[in-house]
Structures are given as C-alpha cells and as structure tokens.
C-alpha cells in the first residue's frame, strides 16, 4: 500500500516536472498561450510533433472561440443597455452615473473588439515576434549564454497563480459586498464584470511575458559582451594558461566562460542578436498596441468614476441619508479601482523594465570600445554603437503615448483634474441623485414658510 502511494506520488511529481520543463521558447510560453487560447484571446497553441519539435500554430477553433466570446459579450452589453441596468444604477442615479454607465457600455463593446477580434487580424505579428526570439535563443546558445527556460516556466506559473489569487480575492470581496447590500444583478451583468477582468488580466500577462522575454534576452546579450570585456582585462594582466582555459570552459553558464571565437565575430553576432530583439519587441508592440490602448483607456475611466463615487459618498454622507451601506459601497468600488490601478502599473512596469535594460547596452559597448586595440574590432563596435542609436526598444499605445513611467504623471494629473470637475459639477447640481431630491426653489419656499 505504501509502495503504491509512493509510486503514485513519484509519477505525479514526474508529470509536474515534465509540464514545467521547457527546452525552447515555445515550451516556456505554452502555458500562458493555452490559457489565452481558452479565453478566446489568441488563436495560437504550442504543439509538439512526432520528432519532439515544438511550434506555434493557429487553430480554427481559436478563431471560432474568439468570435463567439465577442458575440456573447456584445449580447450581454446590449441586454443591460436595453434593460437600463448597471452596477452604479442600483445605488445612485444622477447625470454623472448615467454618463459613466453609457461610456462603460460603449467602451466595453469596443474593448471586446480590440481584445478578441483585432488579435485575429494581427496574429502574424505575434507569430513573427516569437520566431525572432527563437532565432535569438539559437545564436545566444552558440555564444554560450543560453536562456534558462525552466526558470521562465517557473516564473510564468508564479505570475499566473498570483493573478488568479488576486482576482479571486478582489472579485469575491466585490460580490460579497453586493450581496450584503442586497444587490442581485443579472447574469449578463455579472458575466461582464467577471469575464472582462479575466480577459484583461491574461492579456496583460501575455504582454508582460513578451516584455520580460525581451528583457531576459538583452540580459544574456550583456553577459556575452561583459564576458568579452573580462577576457580582455584578464589577458592584459596575465595570460591565461591552457589549463585555466579548459577549466573555465566546463561551466557553460558562467559569465566568464572563454569563447574561442574571434572578438570581431562575437560583436557581429551580438549586433545581429540586438537587431532581432528590437525587431521582436517592435512586432510584439504592433500586436498588443491597440489592446494596451483600450485597457489603459478603460482602466483610466473606471478609476476616475470609481474614485468619484467613493469620494462623493464619503463627503456627502454627513449631508444626506443614504439608502445603501457606506462600508460595503466604498469597499466594492475601491476594490474595482485597485484592480485597474494594478493593471496600469503592471503594463507600465513591464514595458519600463525592458526599455531600461536595453538602454544599458550602449554603456557596455562604449566600455569595450575604450578597451579594444584592434582596428577591426573597433570598427565593429562603432557599427554597433550606430545601431544602438537608430534601433531602440520602445512601447507605445497605438503611437498616441509612450508606455513608460512618465505615464504615471500624466494619469495622476488628468485624474485630479477630472475628479475636481466631477465633484464641482455634482455639488452645483440641484438634485444630486440620492433618492427623491427637491429643487432649490422648493427648499427655499419650505424654509421661508417654516420661518414665518
């Protein structure tokens, strides 16, 4: 009995290791691509042939799944629009809440198009980006600076578990708050609330996976260049003996592994690797650019209106009696606001890390340029420097704005401005929408009669 249990445990452990093992770039992204395929975000799947070779292939079911998901979301949005149903409508009805409801409905349908339909049209960019990364991995392996794909799979699993845990906790908190406030939304509205968040979370994970892939390849390229600089420093101090050379060559993952190729050849291959990485980043940005624009725009609108609802409730609670529980109301919309804040931060930080890592390449190249004494190597390094000036990694949202940390300042300024406008608009409104309010004239007449 004990042996049978141990055999089952070892078998399960072996299967888990097999699932978490990867030999190439395709295997490292297979899990996240499969989740995106199940949700209808991407039509691709990583498949393995009889020879054990993996490739990224598109499936007709992926196209059908994406179209059906978009039709289902379009039906749900149409239903709640015709029924005049919204989450905020259960608590307050004023000009701001009605505008926010219409904006969210229209934006939701547009977001569904950019999330499920547009990736089908731009699928070649994603495929090209991954193929470029595979070529980069092949050249990095020749330079003895390979990528540890098992580590990549482990990080992907941890990120997915963190996203699932965060979404589950915040969604459960939101649904419990709605139940305590005796708000029972239709299944169409609940489906939009849950599925929209899941689709956005996985889309952001896929984008961050691509930016992290770019960052990781640049790190491997830096190891190759630093290894070359270390060899020059070592040779200038003391000639490396044949015994030391053979001992260092045993460790293929060491930063200081001796590469037997000519330095000019190493720099030439490094230039090719950098060109492929930049091309992969550019094509990935073409694939995700409209999705990022939609996600950031929708997230910004939701943050603005949720912050307005929370502030209006907290500031106006002392002036009027509310029909809902303040704690649950504030908790629900705060959770929703936090989710979309995390979404924007994840996009910006994923992009910013890749950009900052790529900017360090120039310093390493110019450090090699100062150390070299060979005219041929110096010419190659100057060509590499020129390439770095013209080929830069940059991520934009449809070319409208750059996705880096400067976006924080822009969003903060716009958020403050719109909140002040909304709060002033509500405070100047004669009926702010909480129950049956009376006009200013009626209030003045009642006050005059009471005084008389």
| pLDDT value of residue 192 | 86
Does 244 score more than 70 pLDDT? no
| CA distances, 215 to each of 65, 277, 350, 431 (Å) | 32, 9, 9, 53
Please report which helix (H) or strand (E) contains residue 57, including its range: strand 54-58
Q: What is the DSSP-derived secondary structure letter of residue 48? A: E
Residues 365, 369, 373, 377: is their CA dihedral positive or negative?
positive
Return the domain boundaries, the chain. 83-233+263-429
Residues 6+ apart with CB under 8 A from 326: 313, 314, 317
Does 279 score more than 90 pLDDT? yes
Share of the chain above pLDDT 90, in %: 29
| C-beta separation of 85 from 189 below 8 A | yes
Q: pLDDT tens, 402-449?
A: 999 999 999 999 999 988 888 887 665 555 444 444 333 343 344 344
| pLDDT value of residue 435 | 43
**10 Å Cβ neighbour count for 18?**
8
Taking alpha carbons only, the member of 212, 227, 233 closest to residue 270 is 227
Share of the chain above pLDDT 70, in %: 80
pTM of this prediction? Answer: 0.82
| pLDDT value of residue 132 | 93
Entry field: residues in the chain: 452
Q: pLDDT tens, 58-97?
A: 888 888 988 888 888 888 888 888 887 777 777 766 676 6
Q: pLDDT tens, 189-236?
A: 888 888 888 888 999 999 999 999 999 999 999 999 888 888 777 765
| pLDDT value of residue 20 | 60
């Amino acid at each position: 009995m004990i042996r049978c249990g141990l055999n089952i445990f070892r078998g399960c452990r072996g299967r888990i290791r097999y699932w978490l093992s990867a030999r190439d770039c395709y295997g490292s992204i297979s899990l996240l691509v499969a989740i995106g395929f199940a949700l209808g975000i991407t039509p691709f799947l990583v498949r393995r042939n009889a020879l054990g070779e993996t490739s990224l292939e598109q499936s007709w079911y992926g196209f059908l799944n994406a179209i059906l998901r978009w039709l289902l979301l379009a039906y749900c949005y149409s239903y709640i629009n015709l029924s005049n149903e919204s989450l905020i409508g259960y608590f307050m009805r004023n000009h701001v809440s009605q505008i926010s409801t219409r904006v969210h409905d229209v934006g939701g349908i547009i977001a569904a198009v950019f999330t499920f339909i547009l990736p089908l049209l731009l699928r070649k960019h994603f495929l090209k980006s991954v193929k470029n990364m595979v070529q980069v991995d092949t050249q990095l392996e020749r330079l003895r600076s390979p990528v540890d794909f098992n580590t990549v799979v482990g990080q992907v699993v941890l990120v997915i578990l963190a996203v699932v845990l965060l979404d589950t906790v915040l969604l459960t908190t939101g649904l419990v708050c709605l139940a305590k406030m005796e708000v029972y939304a239709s299944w169409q509205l609940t489906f939009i609330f849950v599925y929209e968040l899941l689709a956005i979370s996985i889309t952001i994970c896929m984008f961050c996976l691509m930016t992290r892939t770019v960052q990781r390849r640049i790190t491997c390229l830096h190891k190759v260049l630093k290894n070359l600089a270390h060899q020059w420093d070592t040779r200038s101090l003391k000639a490396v003996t044949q015994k030391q050379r053979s001992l260092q060559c045993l460790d293929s993952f060491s930063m200081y592994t001796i590469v037997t190729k000519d330095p000019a050849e190493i720099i030439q291959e490094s230039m090719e690797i950098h060109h492929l990485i930049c091309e992969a980043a550019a094509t990935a940005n073409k694939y995700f650019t409209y999705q990022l624009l939609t996600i950031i725009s929708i997230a910004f609108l939701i943050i603005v209106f949720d912050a307005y609802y929370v502030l209006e409730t907290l500031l106006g609670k002392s002036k009027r009696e509310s029909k809902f529980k303040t704690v649950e109301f504030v908790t629900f919309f705060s959770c929703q606001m936090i989710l979309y804040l995390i979404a924007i931060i994840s996009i910006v930080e994923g992009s910013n890390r890749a950009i900052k890592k790529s900017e360090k390449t120039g310093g390493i190249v110019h450090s090699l340029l100062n150390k070299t004494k060979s005219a041929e190597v110096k010419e190659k390094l100057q060509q590499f420097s020129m390439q770095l000036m013209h080929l830069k990694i940059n991520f934009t949202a449809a070319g409208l704005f750059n996705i880096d940390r400067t976006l924080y300042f822009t969003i903060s300024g716009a958020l403050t401005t719109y909140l002040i406008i909304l709060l002033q608009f509500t405070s100047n409104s004669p009926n702010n929408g909480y129950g049956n309010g009376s006009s200013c004239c009626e209030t003045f007449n009642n006050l005059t009669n009471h005084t008389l």
